[in-house]
Amino acid sequence: MEELLDALLRECQPYTAHGKVATYIPELAKGDPSDLGIYVLRSDGRHYQAGSYRKHFTIQSVVKPILLLLALLDNGEEVVRAKVGVEATGKPFDAINVTDSPLLSAHLNPMVNMGAIAICTLIHGSSYEERFQRLLNFTRQLAGNPEIDLDEAVYLSEKRTGSKNRALAFLLKSYGMLEDGVEEVLDCYFKACSIRVNSKDLANIAFVLANHGKALQSDEQLFPPEYARYVNAIMMTCGMYDGSGDFAIRVGIPAKSGVGGGIMGVVPTRMGVGIFAPALDEKGNSVAGIQVLERLSRRMYLSIF
């Protein structure tokens, strides 16, 4: 398996030159576009890795499935479905014009920015700082890593330059879909996106989703199996932004990408995969990361279709 991963990274390394690191968040512009790493955790407990798998990066939109899981645990499916829909928008992740009609919760999904901002309001806590701390602790629990923490520099960079997300939040507010103060909700969202992880962390989180909510090490049920199915289904249809359909054909597994360069791949009952490759395509997905996943899926017959 390690030989296969090494070979895949050699094959896909040239694709890192086909993308660009995100620059609209100034701190992300400092990333090395040549980075490429992968970590795989299988259901038999074996783990394999190659490349820049130790390198840390901010989770960005890969936090959205975790936000959704915590909202489900805090509120149940009915409340979450009433707040944010499940259908793919077919629009970029930060699109403002998601619909020509008056904005409704059904027009959003939890994997795009506007939906995730709305989801932040469902996390329980007496303050948005407490809500973020609960999300951070939940992320640590899922990853089995108590050292996961906030990247302060990226958080401040996002907060300083997040005009588009402010526009999205005020749009939600104007349609009565955001009751709390825009800045306090966004502060929680910016911090959520700025959680620092590595490929191993993403693979561990993905494995719990692949294993119906059970952690590998302790066999503890961290969340109900039906929530794993709910989140995996939304990642399958919406997780790779407006490239989700193409990804479903080419790779065929639930996955979530982030503009920090991470991809979290879930192979139900079989494995969790974490990838880091910060050179992105025009949709905000990792170019080399998708190439690695496509080849891994073909060689190991991972597609669920």
pLDDT tens for residues 212-262? 999 987 888 999 999 999 999 999 999 998 899 999 999 999 999 999 999
Task: Give 137's pLDDT tier (boundaries 50, 70, 90).
Answer: very high
Q: Identify the pLDDT of residue 105.
A: 82
Of 52, 61, 194, 297, catalytic = 61
Within 10 angstroms of residue 303's Cβ, the number of other Cβ atoms is: 15
79 is catalytic: no
Domain span(s) for CATH 3.40.710.10 in the chain: 2-60+196-300, 63-195
Answer yes or no: CATH 1.20.1250.20 is held by domain 2-60+196-300.
Answer: no
CATH code of domain 63-195:
3.40.710.10
Q: What is the pTM of this model?
A: 0.95
Angle between helices 128-143 and 64-75 in degrees, nearest 10: 110
127 is catalytic: no
Of 112, 208, 259, 287, catalytic = 259
Of 241, 244, 256, 297, catalytic = 241
Sign of CA dihedral 5, 195, 228, 285: negative
- Stronger pLDDT, 171 or 107, i.e. the higher one: 171
64 is catalytic: yes
Of 15, 48, 64, 191, catalytic = 64
Residue by residue, DSSP assigns 162-222 as -HHHHHHHHHHHHTT---S-HHHHHHHHHHHHTEEE-HHHHHHHHHHHHTTTB-TTT--B-
Q: Give dist(CA 216, CA 220) in Å, integer.
A: 8
Angle between helices 182-193 and 128-143 in degrees, nearest 10: 20
Of 189, 208, 227, 244, catalytic = 189
Q: Give dist(CA 159, CA 186) in Å, integer.
A: 8
Q: Identify the pLDDT of residue 99.
A: 60
Percent above pLDDT 70 for the chain: 97
